[in-house]
Amino acid sequence: MHGAGHRVAITGYGVVAPCGTGKQQFWSGLLGPGFSGAKSIEIADWDPSPWFDSPKDARRADRVEQFTLAAAAEALAQSGPLPHDPARIGTIFGTGIGGLRTLEEQVVVRVEKGERRVSPFLVPMMMSNASGAAISMRYGFQGPSETICTACAASTHALGYAARLVSWGTCDAVLSGGAESAGTVTAIAGFANMTAISSSLVSRPFDAARDGFIMGEGAAVFVLERLDLALARGATVIGEIIGAASNADAHHITAPSPGGAGAARCMRAALADAGIAPDDIRQINAHGTSTPLNDAAEAEAIRTVFGESTPPTVSIKGVTGHPLGAAGALEAAAVLLSFEHRLIPPTAGTTTVDPACGIDVVTGSPRPWEPGPTISNNFGFGGHNGSVVLAPYSG
The total number of residues shown for the chain amounts to 395
- The active-site residue out of 6, 157, 322, 384 is 322
Question: What contacts 282, CB < 8 A, 6 or more positions away?
Answer: 311, 312, 369, 370, 371, 372, 373, 374
Angstrom distance (rounded) from CA 301 to CA 268: 10
Residues 6+ apart with CB under 8 A from 114: none
* 157 classed as catalytic: no
Is there a catalytic annotation at residue 322?
yes
Residue type, 122: L
287 carries an active-site annotation:
yes
CA distances from 135 to 77, 147, 232, 237, 318 (A): 14, 12, 25, 22, 29
User: 19, 171, 266, 287: which one is catalytic?
Assistant: 287
Is 213 in contact with 286 (CB distance < 8 Å)?
A: no
CA gap 13, 111 in Å, rounded: 41
Q: Which of 152, 171, 266, 357 is catalytic?
A: 152
Residue 12 host element (H or E): strand 8-17
The alpha helices in the chain, defined as continuous H runs, are 23-30, 55-59, 63-79, 100-113, 122-126, 130-139, 154-167, 185-193, 227-232, 261-274, 292-306, 317-320, 327-341
Q: How many CB atoms lie within 10 A of CB 199?
A: 10
Residues classed as catalytic: 152, 287, 322
